[in-house]
C-alpha cells in the first residue's frame, strides 16, 4: 500500500510518500510545493494542483491522506488554507484517489504516542520511524506524519 500524506498550505504544501506493508513503514519520497506570496491566487492554486499531480503521477499512491481542516482565528488565513486544500484535493480527485482525513491530535497520538506532541517531537519520531530519510522541511515532515498515522489507523483501506 502506497500512501501519499499531505500538509496543504497556500505558502508551502508538504507531501510525503510511504509504503506500508503490515506494520512495516518505508519512506519513498517527500517534498514541498512552495508558492510565491506575490503571485496571483489563481496561479498559486494552479501551481499546487499541477505540482501534486506530478507527484501522484510519479509515485502512483493507492490513497492520500490529509489532516482535517482547522479554523484559524484569522478568517483570511482560514480562507487561504481552504483554497489551497481545494487545489490539493482536486489533484487527488482527478487521479481517482481516495482521500482520508484525520484530526491533528489523532495524527500526533499515532506517531508520537500523545496528542499534545509538538512539531519537534513529531520530527524526532520521524527520524526513528524513517531511518536515513532526508526530510525536505517542516511541511514535508507533517505530511509524512499524516501518512504514517493513516497507515496505522486505516491499515487495509
Name the residues annotated as catalytic: 7, 67, 139
- Among 50, 59, 53, residue whose Cα is nearest residue 3: 59
Where is 110: in which H helix or E strand? Answer: helix 104-112
Cα 27 from Cα 92, distance rounded (Å): 20
The C-alpha angle 115, 107, 71, rounded to 5 degrees, equals: 85
* Coil, helix or strand at residue 149: helix
| Cα–Cα distance measured from residue 129 to residue 145, given in angstroms and rounded to the nearest whole number | 10
Are 6 and 14 in contact, with CB atoms under 8 Å apart? Answer: yes
- C-alpha cell, 102: 484525520
Amino acid at each position: 500500500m502506497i500512501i501519499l500524506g499531505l500538509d496543504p498550505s497556500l505558502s508551502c504544501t508538504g507531501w510525503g510518500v510511504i509504503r506500508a506493508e503490515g506494520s512495516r513503514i518505508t519512506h519513498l519520497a517527500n517534498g514541498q510545493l512552495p508558492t510565491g506570496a506575490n503571485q496571483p491566487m489563481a496561479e498559486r492554486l494552479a501551481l499546487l494542483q499541477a505540482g501534486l499531480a506530478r507527484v501522484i503521477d510519479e509515485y502512483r499512491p493507492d490513497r492520500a491522506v490529509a489532516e482535517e481542516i482547522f479554523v484559524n482565528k484569522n478568517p483570511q488565513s482560514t480562507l487561504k488554507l481552504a483554497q489551497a486544500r481545494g487545489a490539493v484535493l482536486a489533484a487527488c480527485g482527478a487521479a481517482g484517489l481516495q482521500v482520508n482525513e484525520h484530526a491533528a491530535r489523532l495524527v500526533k497520538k499515532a506517531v508520537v504516542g500523545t496528542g499534545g506532541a509538538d512539531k519537534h517531537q513529531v520530527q524526532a519520531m520521524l527520524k526513528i520511524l524513517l531511518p536515513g530519510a532526508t526530510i525536505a522541511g517542516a511541511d514535508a515532515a507533517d505530511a509524512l506524519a499524516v501518512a504514517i498515522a493513516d497507515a496505522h489507523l486505516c491499515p487495509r483501506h
